[in-house]
Amino acid sequence: MMRKSPIIITGGGQRLGLACAQALHEQGYKVIITYRRHREEINAIEASGIQCLQADFSTQNGVEAFIKKVLEDYDALGAIIHNASEWEAEKNCSDTKLLMEKMWQVHVFAPYRINLAFEGLLCAGFKDDGVADIIHMTDYVVEKGSDKHIAYAASKAGLANLTCSFAKRYSPCIKVNAIAPSLLMFHNSDNDDYRQKALNKSLLQKEPGEQEGVLAVKYVLESGYLTGRTLSLDGGRHLV
Ligand SMILES: NC(=O)C1=CN([C@@H]2O[C@H](COP(=O)(O)OP(=O)(O)OC[C@H]3O[C@@H](n4cnc5c(N)ncnc54)[C@H](OP(=O)(O)O)[C@@H]3O)[C@@H](O)[C@H]2O)C=CC1
Ligand SMILES: Nc1nc2c(c(=O)[nH]1)N=C([C@H](O)[C@@H](O)CO)CN2
């Protein structure tokens, strides 16, 4: 069913978040994305009819400013999709204390504060549309850890746990689920050796692309009976 209340996708200026925003917009949803860094592409996204809000979740003030703006401008929400994320490895970092703080801030503190602050808006969305959703974009590494992205994996595990807590707290009005991709799409900078090693990690040995994530988001939004669960998108990696 088409919900009248808007859907917010954080980190929607590129890649998976943008693909989800465009797909849901094309379906007729009112879609709002957040972006951190303004660039030309944001103007094009806005011109397509998707509202773009600048938000930097790297500080508590940035999170609270975003919350304040949304509470001022909207009286209902159909869904919030926590997609904003930084993927940083320990090897690229000189200060691992700051790395853990940064990972925790964007992957746990921001979704936690936003979910608590938007309960009323999502319940109003449920009242209007009969459905409301919170979706956390986590990661396969929640299950297995990562020896190269330790702080990232731990923070995504924190986000995964928020799925259980908020599913219990917000039922039956708001469904709360996670989507845990393994490899969805490479970066242009990924070399052939890295790509081959990443492909070999799953049974299906393919780079599915962002549309695999779009399909999962659409399923979760359209489901009437899924909450507190994680949808794994990993090509059978857990069986390798
Ligand atoms: N791509 C993949 O293969 C996989 C992705 N995932 C997860 O799926 C989701 C989407 O992945 P992908 O599209 O690659 O994500 P990206 O790495 O492209 O990041 C998405 C957006 O997050 C925004 N962002 C990062 N930090 C902050 C911050 N502090 N405040 C506000 N916005 C921020 C960035 O905004 P800006 O560009 O404006 O700075 C960026 O555009 C992520 O949660 C990711 O962890 C999980 C496993 C695999
Ligand atoms: N925020 C991001 N998180 C992740 C990304 C990304 O590009 N941005 N990429 C991955 C990889 O695909 C990894 O799963 C395999 O190379 C993981 N998380």
State the CB neighbour count (10 A cutoff) for residue 230. Answer: 17
> What phi and psi, each to the nearest 5 degrees, are found at residue 238?
-65, -10
The pLDDT tens digits for 101-117 are 999 999 999 999 999 99
Atom number in ligand 2 closest to CA 194: 16
> 47 in a domain, yes or no?
yes
Report the CATH number at residue 140.
3.40.50.720
Please indicate whether residue 190, judged by its CB atom, sits closer than 6 Å to ligand 1: no
Which residue range(s) make up the domain with 142?
7-239
> 1 in a domain, yes or no?
no
Please indicate whether residue 183, judged by its CB atom, sits closer than 6 Å to ligand 1: yes
Atom number in ligand 2 closest to CA 186: 12
What value of ipTM does the predicted structure carry? 0.99
pLDDT band at 1 (very low <50, low <70, confident <90, very high): low
The pLDDT tens digits for 170-191 are 999 999 999 999 999 999 999 9
> 220 in a domain, yes or no?
yes
pTM over 0.95: yes
> 178 in a domain, yes or no?
yes
Atom number in ligand 2 closest to CA 140: 14
> 161 in a domain, yes or no?
yes
> 2 in a domain, yes or no?
no
Distance from residue 101's CA to the centre of ligand 2 (Å): 19
The pLDDT tens digits for 110-158 are 999 999 999 999 999 999 999 999 999 999 999 999 999 999 999 999 9
CA atoms within 13 A on the CB side of 161: 9
> 103 in a domain, yes or no?
yes
Provide the number of structural domains found in the chain.
1
- Nearest C-alpha to atom 18 of ligand 2 is from which residue? 87
The pLDDT tens digits for 227-239 are 999 999 999 999 9
DSSP labels for 112-152?
HHHHHHTHHHHHHHHHHHS--EEEEE--THHHH--SSSHHH
DSSP state of 167: H
Query: What is the C-alpha to C-alpha distance for residues 83 and 69, in angstroms, rounded to an integer?
Result: 19
DSSP labels for 71-87?
HHH-S--SEEEE-----
3-class DSSP assignment, residue 207: coil
